[in-house]
Amino acid sequence: MPKFYLTTPIYYANSRPHVGSAYTTIVCDVIARYKRMCGYEVAYLTGTDEHGVNIERAAEKLGITPAELVDRNQQIFRDLWKLLGIQHTHFIRTTSAEHARAVQTLVRRTMARTPDAIYKARYEGRYCVHDNLYVSDSSEPANCPLCGRPAELISEENYFFRLSAYQGKLLALYRDHPEFVQPDFRMNEVRSFVEAGLKDVSISRRSIKWGIPWPDDPEHVFYVWYDALTSYLSGIGFGQGEGGEANPSFKKFWPANLHMIGKEIIRFHAVYWPAFLMAAELPLPEKIFAHGWLLFEQEKMSKSKGNVAYPEPIVKALDELTGAKVGNDALRYYLLRETVFGQDGNFSRDALLTRYNADLANGLGNLASRVLTMIENYCEGIIPDPGNATVPLRIHELASQPHRDAILSSYENFEFSDALTVTWAAVELVDKYLVEEKPWVLAQKTENRKQLEQVLYSAMESLRIVCALAHPVAPESTQRIWSQMGLQGALADVRINQLQWGDFKPGTRIGKPEAVFPRVDKKEAWERIEAMENEIRNPAGAAPKPAAEPAAGAKIAIEDFAKIELRVGVVKSAERIPGADKLLKLLVDIGEEVRQVLAGIALAYAPEELIGRKVVIVANLAPRKMRGLESNGMLLAASADADGKPVLCTFAEDIPAGSKVK
RNA sequence: GCCGGCGUAGCUCAGUGGCAGAGCGAGGGUCUCAUAAUCCCUAGGCCGUGGGUUCGAUUCCCCCCGCCGGCACCA
């Protein structure tokens, strides 16, 4: 039996999952179910990334230990996956003993096989706590390229991975396997990133405790990305025996056929990860697919905007309002149907409810209902024998092998929207067919019996095939229709690539027809979802959160603050810098001198409107060069979140330039 | 600034060198097996602007405008 091994990212367990994580996981589940129906033995790994400063700090805030925090959060992930019908076969926690062993085994193996791949050196630089990312930018101050938050300054002895040595090998990999990264435009982005040159990366930390200890050097703890990526190995059994490959499950499933990720973490998967594996002399995964983001009502979801959507309210609200278990399939269908996979997509409750009523309730659900009712009423609930009547041409087209194969090929290429569009075209066609043939009229006269039976058989057989083709996306409801049609066993066991017209056995006794997708009132559903979302955002009894998240982490002493010299400055001149989008060159009078300060505020402020304004300057910041120009100081500005435009600090009353701010 | 993509009916998007399409929404009609479901008809849209190639361009090329992504850069 051929194998297929796919993974979701190992989700960071510092908070609960939103629809974005659910999206990735659902997509993988659809692929996993599809592959199983094609006869593959599937290993499907997901899990939680439970180490790092962020977890430490989040736990500290709640007054619990990191272990307690991640225990709690990983359970929320598991519960959600259960609610969404996710059939993962493996779940890895990075705090588990077997994972720790795997990480240590991997690094030992690497040092044994490629002795110069890992070395110890002093790291002085910036680290983004939020994204667990070392910021390679050597300028000062540095900010995280992912989230834009200021990176924290750290200086410590670290183990480094010699990524710089892998530029040529990675480029060769991309050249020989252009399918390695998908979609293709991502491959191009990755390639140009690597062509621009690679720096070595730190893969250990000394300053934190909450991590996996470095073998024979327990002062060090593994860098979170090295730790987390290794989950793809440990999750299926790596880490046993000499070299780590003794486990039969690992032998069977590695290398992964697919790492499904969001586009924001492509660099780690398409650059770091293959380099880590090359150094360890392990086979590389076959494919990295980076999908787009799910925007919420056209905006990027972000906690600070308060527009994070969670999956649970949608699923539960639909289940409650319909009195049927439909929410999960509705969400899955919507996510895969509405967006072009790979691109950014929009998540809109209104569109979801529209899709539910139009495609699921009025479409598939109603078709099942009308066909089953007619079998019940006109054929005593027994599937009729069509004899050797030819299949009506148009129906036959949709049920034919080329058509089936077109849908399967869409699944194969992760073109879920296409697969569903074509599958649902079959639903429409059968509806049309019924209107044309009018079985309810045929049933009036006994001489039409043969034709009636042929029509109803064709409709049932089409419905059977549609259910099978839609099963990976809508597993629960298609199974329910399957059972109502009198078909035995699990639809999941059907070999989707061997579907044949005519396999529906005449004489089958159907089950009791029952609405699979009851219609919902959109307004009512919308309000119910909204209410449940608010419940999650602001749990009853919980104190409302302060609007601005306090700078994560430990308090500083007054002496620390005293090191910072803040002064009032007056902007004397301001001009754009050629070649820079965001940067302005300012001359600022701070009393005893006029300083040249560069500030990244060009998107928010026109140069001319700044002249004469009183601003706050960090006066004792070390000079730094940007775009070839020296900056002597830093302008203070506030921004709502990572994407927000900066707003300058200013004064309501008058105050002379040079005054100290404290 | 560099690289890439996009700009088509109210909305979401397909699409091809030669009569501009689908779904949703809206309007009208129809059937009655069905979940007030199905099915049929109806949108006269400068296919972003301006040039060019061509017998002919929405589809090929160039400029411009607007939007988006990656890199660089940045609070």
As a rounded value in angstroms, the CA-to-C1' distance for A426 and B29 is 25
Q: Please provide residue A586's backbone torsions phi and psi, each rounded to the nearest 5 degrees.
A: -115, 145
DSSP letters along A151-199, please?
PEEEEEEEEEE-GGGGHHHHHHHHHH-GGGEESHHHHHHHHHHHHT---
Average pLDDT, chain A: 83
State yes or no: cis peptide before A183, omega within 30 of 0: yes
Helix or strand run (H / E) with residue A273: helix A273-280
Does residue A661 register a pLDDT over 50?
yes
pLDDT band at A173 (very low <50, low <70, confident <90, very high): very high
Does residue A93 register a pLDDT over 70?
yes
Closest nucleotide to A373, Cα to C1' = B33
Does residue A127 register a pLDDT over 90?
no
Q: Which value does ipTM take for this structure? A: 0.87
Does residue A84 register a pLDDT over 90?
yes
CATH architecture label of A3-291? 3-Layer(aba) Sandwich (3.40)
Rounded to whole angstroms, the Cα distance separating A58 from A334 reads: 33
Q: Which residues contact A554 (CB under 8 A, 6 or more apart)?
A: none
Nearest protein residue, CA measured to C1' of B31: A435
More confident call, A178 vs A295 = A178
Residue spans of alpha helices (H) in A380-510: 393-399, 401-412, 416-437, 439-442, 449-470, 475-484
CATH class of A346-498: mainly alpha
Task: Say whether the CB atom of A292 is under 7 angstroms from strand B.
Answer: no
Contact by Cβ (8 Å): A277, A245? no
Burial class of residue A554, CB neighbours in 10 A (0-12, 13-18, 19+)? exposed
Question: Which pLDDT score is estimated for A249?
Answer: 95
| Nearest C-alpha neighbor of A81 from the set A398, A328, A449 | A328
Task: Say whether the CB atom of A138 is under 7 angstroms from strand B.
Answer: no
Contact by Cβ (8 Å): A148, A582? no
Does residue A500 register a pLDDT over 50?
yes
What is the pTM (predicted TM-score) of this model?
Answer: 0.80
More confident call, A74 vs A621 = A74
Taking the stretch 552-591 of protein chain A, residues with Cβ within 7 Å of any atom in nucleic acid chain B are: 578-583
Nearest protein residue, CA measured to C1' of B70: A189
Could you tell me where in chain A the CATH 2.40.50.140 domains are found? 558-661
Structure tokens at A351: 């569109």
Question: If you average pLDDT over residues A324-349, what whole number do you get?
Answer: 85
Give strand pairing partners of A347. A296
Rounded to whole angstroms, the Cα distance separating A12 from A265 reads: 12
| Nearest C-alpha neighbor of A27 from the set A309, A335, A256 | A335
Closest nucleotide to A635, Cα to C1' = B75
Taking the stretch 624-643 of protein chain A, residues with Cβ within 7 Å of any atom in nucleic acid chain B are: 624, 626-627, 631, 634-639, 642
Could you tell me where in chain A the CATH 1.10.730.10 domains are found? 346-498
Task: Say whether the CB atom of A428 is under 7 angstroms from strand B.
Answer: yes
Amino acid symbol at A348: S
CB atoms under 10 Å from CB of A315, counted, come to 25
Say what percent of chain A tops pLDDT 70. 82
Does residue A452 register a pLDDT over 60?
yes
| Nearest C-alpha neighbor of A261 from the set A24, A26, A18 | A24
CB atoms under 10 Å from CB of A489, counted, come to 9
Q: Per residue, what are the HEC states of A1-31? A: CCEEEEEEEEEECCCCCCHHHHHHHHHHHHH
Measured to protein CB atoms, the chain B nucleotides within 7 Å are 1, 3-5, 12-14, 23-25, 31-40, 68-75
Fold adopted by A558-661: OB fold (Dihydrolipoamide Acetyltransferase, E2P) (2.40.50)
Does residue A280 register a pLDDT over 90?
yes
Contact by Cβ (8 Å): A52, A224? yes
Could you tell me where in chain A the CATH 3.40.50.620 domains are found? 3-291
